[in-house]
Structure 1
Amino acid sequence: MYRTTTPQRTRRRTGGGFGGGSSSLGPADVSMSASVGGGRRSMGAASPVRRGGDEAGEGVAMAAMGGMEEPLAEQDPSVVDGFRVVYDREVPFELRANEEEEGQLDAVRAKILIQGESHAPEAVRVELGCESDLFFHYTHQLDELSFAELQREQKLMVEFNEYAHVLIRMFNSAIKEPQQYLAVFVLQEDNTGRVDFMQNAMYKFLELLSIQFAPSPGNAVRQHIHFRYNTMKARLAAMQQRLNEVYATVKVKNPSLLLQLQQMHGPAK
């Protein structure tokens, strides 16, 4: 982990956190129409994420998900109540224990799910987990009504059906341009949290979007830990099977090489 310093922000928040509140943006490119003032936030050409690159990033994420064995993917505890995964990637986050302390950088797995049709979702959910802390698991979920409240509070110029796409662009920006775009996770006193998407404007941070998260229930956390364990176990078994196949091929074509490999790495299991 590396420590980071935080330039002055355009505004400071005192409320919110991981809590189960709502917050969001939309699919069109995200940018600020004004740095701090009360202007509405719009997604335009100046957005932090370029459309083409963003779609490519989404394709990479979905391709990686497609590599998971189908039966295993069906066991994902996230896929319940009609939700389906549309994004699943590790994103660099700055994790802060409170509002004032400097944060630490860590890789956080961000998963975005939608309920209903892509063009007319009923709900959008974001789940955050961390390999370095199996019990770190937070959830953010909005429907059209709660999004309207967020839209009004943060003066967003996007609609609910664009929300998941905007979140994808936000996360991809933090992956592709970490020096310019930041995802900051702030832990609150009540154990809720808040994610701020920030743009580094040299001398200050511009807040692009802020969304609230709630800690996942203990039972859900245990289910996710169990699922991650089974996923790693399945991948290890697949790698072992592949290694056995390589050993079998080498045994036929070059037995002496197989003997050398077994002396170095041990026999195939």
Structure 2
Amino acid sequence: MAAPDADGSGFNTVWERTLLVELRDEADNAVGSTPRARERLLMTLQARAPEPRRRSPGGGPAAAAGPLAPPRAQPRASASAYRAVLSSRSDLFFVFESDAIDRRTYSGALQEAHDLTTPFEGLPALLLSLAGRCDGARPGGGGRGGATVFAVLLLSACASRARLTFVEDLDIKFVELLSLSFAPRPRRSVEAAANDRYSRLAARAEAAEARLGALTDLVRRRYPGLLVQFEQQAAEREAAAEAPAALAPRGATAHVAARRAGAGAARPEALAPASPHTPAAAARCGCGRGGAAARGCWAAGDAGGGSPYCCGGQDPALPWDVCGADEEDENAALAAYYGFD
């Protein structure tokens, strides 16, 4: 069932759909150029019901058919106009709406300009299909699952107008499927919608808090020890969230770290190599990272003062020529040594 719109304009919500949109400046309107940002926006299609038909004083065709004639099925009345609304879940005051699209506007400004074969009654299904095909699409190379349609929202410098364009990527060129003009909603309407959304979220939060309080009282009366365990787990989660996250290895280093973690857990402690940060390992490979004064990795390898291996601050079993290179070459050497592509 269509939901009534909050601004009292007579439009009812038909459907809502999130789609990935490229936000661009109006000056940079070249399709396929580098996007400024990619954000998920909520697209809402609204419809205005047609005005009821007035019966003629003579009774119309139904009265002329006679009282015993079966009633004829009346055709289903479609909407008299549609409009699309773009909003953001992260920004309450980002609300743009298109002009009302009636039959005359659709047949003139849209159907002829974009060579659309879809009738006016099929406009909701057409927009819903285009919005669904935008998920996962990437300009210049298609998208996941064969998606080749993406949406571009051109914003003016002062955000006084916008234009949403659905573009199909054919690998050799870009084809504009449909384009709609948008304007920001009036401030009073935006504030009313923001107030309504805030009130609904506040009521939902109060209901969840009341439910949590009732559940806590129930657990406290019947299982006090379980409540203490819940509180300890909550404290641990808060401490873990506040602690700074360690930098995870990237590229081939991540594969090497995973490989090393699995191998270290499987092999016995006696067969594990010496730590790369011990003086013995540093003296053997010449790395000097274990605290011993050494001449460096390359010098130790060339002079034959130690084993032709270098820990590189990571592993004594790695080839000595890994150390001394930059990060990119080191990652490539590590990947080649462990057999990763």
Q: State TM-score, norm by structure 1.
A: 0.63
Residue of structure 2 equivalent to 1:181:
149
Whether the aligned pair in 2 keeps the contact of 1:124 and 1:142 (CA below 8 Å) is yes
CA deviation after TM superposition for structure 1 residue 177, in Å = 4.9
CA deviation after TM superposition for structure 1 residue 265, in Å = 4.4
Question: Which of residues 115, 122, 125 is equivalent to 1:162?
Answer: 122
CA deviation after TM superposition for structure 1 residue 264, in Å = 5.3
CA deviation after TM superposition for structure 1 residue 116, in Å = 1.8
Whether the aligned pair in 2 keeps the contact of 1:119 and 1:161 (CA below 8 Å) is no
Q: In the alignment, does 2:6 pair up with 1:102?
A: no
Q: How many equivalent residue pairs?
A: 194
Q: In the alignment, does 2:194 pair up with 1:225?
A: yes
Whether the aligned pair in 1 keeps the contact of 2:167 and 2:176 (CA below 8 Å) is yes
Residue of structure 1 equivalent to 2:93:
135
Deviations 1:108-127 (A, max 9, x none): 11111112278511111211
Q: State TM-score, norm by structure 2.
A: 0.51
State the identity as a percent: 27
**Which has the higher Rg, Structure 1 or Structure 2?**
2
Residue of structure 2 equivalent to 1:125:
83
Residue of structure 2 equivalent to 1:23:
none
Deviations 1:205-245 (A, max 9, x none): 22111111111111111112212212221222232233234
Taking structure 1 as reference, are residues 102 and 177 closer, same or farther at Cα in structure 2, changes over 3 Å only? closer
Deviations 1:236-264 (A, max 9, x none): 22322332343244334422111333455
Instruction: Describe the SS at the equivalent of 1:247.
Output: helix
Residue of structure 1 equivalent to 2:311:
none
Instruction: Describe the SS at the equivalent of 2:117.
Output: coil
CA deviation after TM superposition for structure 1 residue 166, in Å = 0.9
Deviations 1:155-174 (A, max 9, x none): 21111111111111111111
Question: Which of residues 204, 217, 231 is equivalent to 2:173?
Answer: 204
Tell me the C-alpha RMSD between the 2 structures. Answer: 2.7
Taking structure 1 as reference, are residues 173 and 235 closer, same or farther at Cα in structure 2, changes over 3 Å only? farther
- Unaligned runs of at least 5 residues, structure 1: 1-61, 66-72
Instruction: Describe the SS at the equivalent of 1:258.
Output: helix
Does 1 or 2 have the higher relative contact order (CA < 8 Å, sep 6+)?
A: 1
Whether the aligned pair in 2 keeps the contact of 1:115 and 1:124 (CA below 8 Å) is yes
Matches within 5 A, 1:1-269: 77-78=6-7, 80-100=8-28, 102-116=35-49, 120-140=78-98, 141-149=100-108, 150-175=110-135, 177=137, 179=143, 180-189=148-157, 191-262=160-231, 265=234
